[in-house]
Structure 1
Amino acid sequence: MPISGEIHERVARSGGVPSGLPLVILLTGFTDAGSAVSGLIDHLGETTAPEPVLVFDNDALLDYRARRPVLTFDQDHIADLTPARLELSIAHDALGRPFLLLAGYEPDFAWNAFADVVLDFAAEHEVSTVTWVHAIAMPVPHTRPIGVTVSGNRAELTAAHSVWRPRTQVPGTAGHLLEHRFVRAERSVASFV
């Protein structure tokens, strides 16, 4: 269990956490058009063998009334209860290269404390780049190609991949807060929408 007042717990890992790894952030919550983010979380969970190094405390970050845990009711008893998970893990891509993966629900509470933990971890382990993905529904026909908007301070990615460059105000997410804080800390970051 986390120390009183802490929102996360470190998980011991043999070999520790290597320095200089890229960080990929996938948070479900406010928007997830087509279940793109949750589908990517499931895919990476199945294909990259993530090993948790930080586990976030649901009681501190999750509004259970808004996102109730899924349970399996089998005839006359509860056979299974699946709690939500928010973890920062070490994973390995198809070529065996390690990367950090922050995946799970978007916190409902304590966004600044959450961002502090993530940024402190990134600084401690000299994270090389940060990339996060989220999916926003757009009122366009499904026959059109999927468009991508990239934000952040990685100009080469922004210029190469953004097909739509709006100036607009939208409700923010914890991912936006992380991007803003990483840019202010002068870390290399990009968001793919």
Structure 2
Amino acid sequence: MAELNWDERPSDLRDPVMVAAFGGWNDAAAAASSAVVFLGEKFAATRVAAIDPEEFYDFQATRPLIDLTSGDGNAAVVWPEVEVLVARPADSSRDFILVAGAEPSMRWRAFCGILLDAAGTLGVRRVVTLGSLLADVVHNHPIRLTGMASDPALISGMNFRPPSYAGPTGIVGVLHHAATEAGFESVSMWAPVSHYAAGLTNAKGSLALIRALERVTGIDVEAGDLERAADSFENQVARAVEAEPRLRQLVEQLEDAAERAGDGPQEDLPTGDELAAELEKFLRERDDPA
């Protein structure tokens, strides 16, 4: 069985750039995967290939889906594929190759090899990976991305925070490394998102990634819908913080510490679990007052 199943192999792509994000550990508050979904919807992306999940997923950890509500007794099982899609912005000299799906469970080197072979087949020279991480950042503060590149010139002048992390990595880190080793121009961009709002999709983080992606690819993205979603996210969290004294106190501590310490390490702050629990409790009680 082929591990990459092609629907079609387009040959007329315009200097395409591959953009990849994966749900799961690399995707706090779904900010990175939502950015790729937004691009696909914005530019009416079409699927050209999918990775067969059989050799890459533990189906007890990433389960297939089924819908039995139709009552016809013949419901299809939806498997956790990683899809490769083509998006063709009308007013651009480049196309997007979008990669979206859940982080695989195993055989990461083979998985990355399949994606990069597909990239080569489609004429890709630049691979951009997107991620998001939980951080001690306040929901209404500007988002400063963390970024790295195979060639520093690719992200010059973008005011990215240099990476300072050492520890376990996810498929985004492995794919970025593999792309660099394979000779692709490679960029990895990460959005820090508020740990106390981790239960909400963070459109503000997605918007920050899209705006940086415009700079990295030279492809303009009209993102009015995403801007409104980012405002809605910020307003929703702000209402919860204002209405809940305990949550407000914890966020004020975080703001004060950020002002005192700038970009330095934060100490004596409420934990992400404390903050998230307060926010989720408030939203749950608001939605279900009984």
Q: Using structure 1 for the length normalisation, give the TM-score.
A: 0.82
Amino acid at match of 1:126: G
Q: Deviations over 1:119-141 (max 9, x none)?
A: 22223333121111110110222
Q: Indicate if the aligned counterparts of 2:147 and 2:163 stay in contact, CA closer than 8 A.
A: no
Amino acid at match of 2:102: Y
Larger fraction in helix? 2
Q: 1:99 to 1:143 in 2, by over 3 A?
A: closer
2:158 equivalent in structure 1: 161
Q: Distance in 2 between matches of 1:57 and 1:17?
A: 25
Q: 1:55 to 1:163 in 2, by over 3 A?
A: closer
Query: Is residue 17 of structure 2 the alignment partner of residue 22 of structure 1?
Result: yes
Query: Is residue 188 of structure 2 the alignment partner of residue 191 of structure 1?
Result: yes
Q: 1:182 to 1:82 in 2, by over 3 A?
A: same
Q: Show structure 1 runs of 5+ residues with no match.
A: none
Q: 1:159 to 1:12 in 2, by over 3 A?
A: closer
Q: Indicate if the aligned counterparts of 2:87 and 2:96 stay in contact, CA closer than 8 A.
A: yes
2:231 equivalent in structure 1: none
SS in 2 for 1:146: coil
Query: Is residue 115 of structure 2 the alignment partner of residue 102 of structure 1?
Result: no
Larger fraction in strand? 1
2:8 equivalent in structure 1: 12
The equivalences for 1:13-162 within 5 A come to 13=9, 15-16=10-11, 18=13, 20-74=15-69, 81-93=77-89, 95=91, 97-162=94-159
Q: Deviations over 1:77-103 (max 9, x none)?
A: 776654323111211236365221111
SS in 2 for 1:140: coil
- Report sequence identity in percent: 26
Q: 1:130 to 1:124 in 2, by over 3 A?
A: same
Q: Distance in 2 between matches of 1:77 and 1:29?
A: 33
Q: 1:158 to 1:44 in 2, by over 3 A?
A: closer
Q: Using structure 2 for the length normalisation, give the TM-score.
A: 0.57
Q: Indicate if the aligned counterparts of 2:26 and 2:172 stay in contact, CA closer than 8 A.
A: no
Q: Indicate if the aligned counterparts of 2:147 and 2:189 stay in contact, CA closer than 8 A.
A: yes
Q: Deviations over 1:15-74 (max 9, x none)?
A: 536373111112112131221123223323322222222211122212221122344443
Q: Show structure 2 runs of 5+ residues with no match.
A: 191-290
Q: Distance in 1 between matches of 2:43 and 2:168?
A: 32
Amino acid at match of 1:66: A
Amino acid at match of 1:52: R
Q: Indicate if the aligned counterparts of 1:106 and 1:174 stay in contact, CA closer than 8 A.
A: yes
Between structure 1 and structure 2, the one with the greater Rg is 2
Q: Distance in 1 between matches of 2:133 and 2:52?
A: 27
Larger RCO of the pair (alpha carbons < 8 Å, separation 6+): 1
Q: How many residues matched?
A: 188
Q: Distance in 2 between matches of 1:166 and 1:100?
A: 26
After superposition, the CA RMSD in angstroms is: 2.6
Structure 1 counterpart of 2:175, from 170, 174, 178: 178
Q: Which moved more, 1:86-95 or 1:155-164?
A: 155-164
Q: 1:92 to 1:121 in 2, by over 3 A?
A: same
Amino acid at match of 2:130: V
